[in-house]
């Protein structure tokens, strides 16, 4: 595996791979890699001939300075994992290398970015669009892999791809969970012992709500999830929305989800740690 820190070297290598007829796959990450990332990499390796994984904690997508400061950074361990995962290139740039000039681009991401994480984390999705579009321009991959834990983020990236006219297949990959159901996340390392004990109840409640939903309305199901979790000491639900899986717009009636099965998207503070998860109805 080559570790590359310069964008010019990255572009030259991936252009060479493409010229040789290789299918290039990109897995963008912010490091602190876990089995969830590894499942994206495994899929990329199955489907592509040349796999690039980027490891970059992107400052423009953090709307909270403390979250950026405390985001786990584990480069050495990440490189070991990437080497044993059989990745061709690990791209690990500095902030100055990624942003030699401040990125002032504002993406018109439309309705998919106007709900849930959009208003809760102002500027977050614009920052994601900035960094992912830069990576796409540098690597020019055939396919790019994203985890469904960040369900809304995938919709935002698909929108950015359309806006920028990239010819890149966005591959969404299922959420990886601990045996007790907790969705894998780099932020899980910040959970205290007690937080970690209660955290699986998020997914447990989401699963129970699928049965509940069969005989209840959207609003009742939303209330069931929110009330169940808020009743547990240590949780504070920020939002629970049930949305159309493509437009991300909250629905009022189950039949309002016109693009497929409705999706429930949740953000919960578990102690100080902001956890997200989602489920298909």
**Residues annotated as part of the active site:** 37
Q: Which residues pair with 144 in a beta bridge?
A: 26, 170
> x/- string (CB under 6 A) for ligand PAF, residues 25-54?
---xxx------------------------
Residues 6+ apart with CB under 8 A from 246: 155, 259, 260
Q: Does the protein bind ligand PAF through residue 61 (CB under 6 A)? A: yes
Shortest distance, position 58 Cβ to ligand PAF, whole Å: 4
Q: Does the protein bind ligand PAF through residue 245 (CB under 6 A)? A: no
How many CB atoms within 10 Å of residue 63? Answer: 14
Strands (E), the chain: 2-4, 24-29, 50-55, 89-91, 143-147, 169-173, 235-243, 263-270, 273-280
Q: Does the protein bind ligand PAF through residue 226 (CB under 6 A)? A: no
The DSSP symbol for 96 reads H
Q: Does the protein bind ligand PAF through residue 126 (CB under 6 A)? A: no
Q: Does the protein bind ligand PAF through residue 87 (CB under 6 A)? A: no
Write down the residue that tokens 């693009």 correspond to.
259
Residues 6+ apart with CB under 8 A from 137: none
User: 118 or 198, CB closer to ligand PAF?
Assistant: 118
CB 189 within 8 A of CB 32: yes
Q: Does the protein bind ligand PAF through residue 141 (CB under 6 A)? A: no
Strand order in the sheet with 24-29: 2-4, 89-91, 50-55, 24-29, 143-147, 169-173
Cα 102 to Cα 254: distance, rounded to the nearest angstrom:
43
Q: Does the protein bind ligand PAF through residue 131 (CB under 6 A)? A: yes
Shortest distance, position 80 Cβ to ligand PAF, whole Å: 19
Shortest distance, position 71 Cβ to ligand PAF, whole Å: 10
Q: Does the protein bind ligand PAF through residue 132 (CB under 6 A)? A: yes
User: 14 or 61, CB closer to ligand PAF?
Assistant: 61
Shortest distance, position 220 Cβ to ligand PAF, whole Å: 32
Shortest distance, position 258 Cβ to ligand PAF, whole Å: 27
Site for ligand PAF, rule CB under 6 A: 28-30, 58, 61, 128, 131-132, 150, 153
């Amino acid at each position: 595996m080559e570790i590359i820190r310069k964008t010019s070297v990255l572009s030259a290598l991936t252009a060479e791979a493409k010229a040789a007829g290789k299918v290039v796959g990109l897995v963008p990450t912010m490091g602190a890699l876990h089995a969830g990332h590894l499942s994206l990499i495994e899929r990329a390796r199955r489907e592509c001939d040349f796999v690039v994984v980027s490891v970059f904690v992107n400052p423009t997508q953090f709307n909270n300075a403390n979250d950026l400061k405390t985001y786990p950074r584990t480069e050495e361990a990440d490189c070991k994992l990437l080497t044993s995962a059989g990745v061709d290139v690990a791209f690990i740039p500095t902030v100055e290398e990624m942003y030699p000039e401040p990125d002032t681009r504002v993406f018109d991401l439309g309705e998919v970015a106007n709900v849930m994480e959009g208003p809760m984390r102002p500027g977050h999705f614009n920052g994601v669009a900035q960094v992912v579009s830069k990576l796409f321009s540098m690597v020019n991959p055939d396919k790019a892999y994203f985890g469904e834990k960040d369900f809304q983020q995938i919709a935002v990236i698909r929108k950015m791809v359309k806006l920028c006219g990239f010819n890149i297949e966005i591959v969404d990959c299922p959420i990886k969970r601990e045996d007790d159901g907790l969705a894998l996340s780099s932020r899980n390392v910040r959970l205290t012992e007690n937080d970690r004990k209660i955290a699986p109840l998020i997914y447990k409640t989401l699963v129970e709500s699928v049965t509940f939903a069969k005989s209840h309305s959207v609003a009742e199901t939303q209330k069931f999830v929110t009330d169940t979790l808020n009743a547990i000491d240590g949780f504070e639900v920020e939002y629970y929305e049930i949305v159309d899986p493509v437009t991300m717009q909250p629905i009022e009636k189950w039949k309002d989800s016109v693009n497929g099965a409705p999706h429930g998207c949740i953000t919960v503070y578990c102690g100080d740690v902001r956890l997200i998860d989602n489920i298909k109805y």
